[in-house]
Amino acid sequence: MKVPLLDLKPQNLALEHELKAAFERVLHSGQFILGPEVETFEQSVAEVTGTRHALGVSSGTDAILLALMALGIGPGDEVLCPSFTFFATAGCVARAGATPVFVDSCPSCFNLDVADARRRLTARTKAIIPVHLFGQTADMDAVLELAREHNLCVIEDAAQALGAAYHGRPAGSMGDFGTYSFFPSKNLGGFGEGGLLATNDDALAEKARMLRNHGMQPKYFHGMVGGNFRLDALQAALLAVKLPHLKQYSARRRENAAYYSGRLAEAGVALPAVHPHNEHIWNQYTVRVPGGRRDALREYLAARQISTEIYYPVPLHLQECFRSRAPEPLPVCEKLASECVSLPIHPDLLREQQDAVIEAIAGFRRS
Ligand SMILES: Cc1ncc(COP(=O)(O)O)c(C=O)c1O
């Protein structure tokens, strides 16, 4: 049975009429960048982020860059971030002119190891970026304690975690900034590029709002150097149609995760751990395949038309562009990169498809 990693058609086509109506509304409005559609979406999504401010931006990557710029992080500064994450987290630190300092990860929940972050502090450390990887928040009590002790800014990279929670607190609402992505594969997936920057700090929100639009206030007067990080009105209007369904999309992913975890317990793969105080939204369901057999399992599944993906095959400290920094080994990240594989988990996955994945993994174990 064919099992794609992601199938966006059922989710989007179920809302076809509303999406077309939103498109027509924007078409007739003649306003295509920022404006009332973006403001309305920002107000609704701020209820999910649990923050006083939510700014629609051009991508999850730009949200991180904008946060760093608003916090004044640049040359000479060091920023702690995980190595086992998507490139954008550290790429933005380097683009801001600062130095990413890579931190090892937790082997069972895949998030930043805060004890390791503590060991890597220097007098130049200015910020920490916990990434809420695969839809589960990092250990934010420990992150916030470290930040308080050493006066660090905290940017939560919640690109994969809109709607997740930590001790009941929304992912992205606990640090100075939370950043989110609407890349189509995310739990709230858009129709192109889009992202969000959230904060509870009025002054930071004001600064980020200006930086989003070339540091311009009023028109054609530039008090600071910003960029074009604006969200399109069309993107906001379409995302606003999907936003009321986000809880249901994540609930379906949670059901699928529970089904996998129940049936893969004896399948010879290490299952993802969920910390009890975390509300996981399962942007990915990622297992570890020990004994150097991960790639063989992927091939076995691919031969049965089951798609999987490796998030992420090369930890960032070993990426070519960061190698000049003579990386220290990060043993957990390196192991995760060689053992992890993500299985289909999207909300429209059929039970028969999940059974096919589970049976194929069992078949691989017997092979
Ligand atoms: C952890 C993480 N951070 C940042 C990003 C960047 O988001 P975008 O693709 O919207 O720029 C992503 C997207 O995949 C991500 O997964």
The string of pLDDT tens digits covering residues 193-240 is 999 999 999 999 999 999 999 999 999 999 999 999 999 999 999 999
- 320 pLDDT higher than 80: yes
Domains and CATH numbers, the chain: 9-103+110-243 (3.40.640.10), 245-366 (3.90.1150.10)
The residues lining ligand 1, judged by C-beta closer than 6 Å to any ligand atom, are 59-61, 85-86, 88-89, 131, 157, 159-160, 181, 183, 195
Cα(213) to centroid of ligand 1, in Å?
21
Atom of ligand 1 nearest to the CA of 61: 11
pLDDT of residue 350: 97
pLDDT digit string (tens) for 86-134? 999 999 999 999 999 999 999 989 999 999 999 999 999 999 999 999 9
Which of 181, 186, 197 for mutating ligand 1's site (highest number of atoms within 8 Å of CB)? 181
pLDDT digit string (tens) for 173-200? 999 999 999 999 999 999 999 999 999 9
- 325 pLDDT higher than 80: no
Which of 65, 68, 160 for mutating ligand 1's site (highest number of atoms within 8 Å of CB)? 160
Distance of CA 333 to the CA centre of its chain: 17
Q: Write the CB contacts of 54 (distance below 8 Å, at least 6 apart in sequence).
A: 42, 43, 45, 46, 196, 197, 198
What is the CA angle 176-198-23, rounded to 5? Answer: 165
When the pLDDT of each residue in the chain is averaged and rounded to a whole number, the result is 97
pLDDT digit string (tens) for 14-38? 999 999 999 999 999 999 999 999 9
pLDDT band at 276 (very low <50, low <70, confident <90, very high): confident
215: left (phi over 0), alpha (psi -120 to 50) or beta: left
- Rounded to an integer, what distance in angstroms lies between the CA atom of residue 211 and that of residue 192? 22
pLDDT band at 244 (very low <50, low <70, confident <90, very high): very high
- Rounded to an integer, what distance in angstroms lies between the CA atom of residue 184 and that of residue 294? 26
Hey, is 313 helix, strand or coil?
A: coil
Cα(181) to centroid of ligand 1, in Å?
6
Cα(79) to centroid of ligand 1, in Å?
18
- In the chain, what percentage of residues exceed pLDDT 70? 99
- Rounded to an integer, what distance in angstroms lies between the CA atom of residue 181 and that of residue 190? 9
Question: Model's pTM, two decimal places?
Answer: 0.97
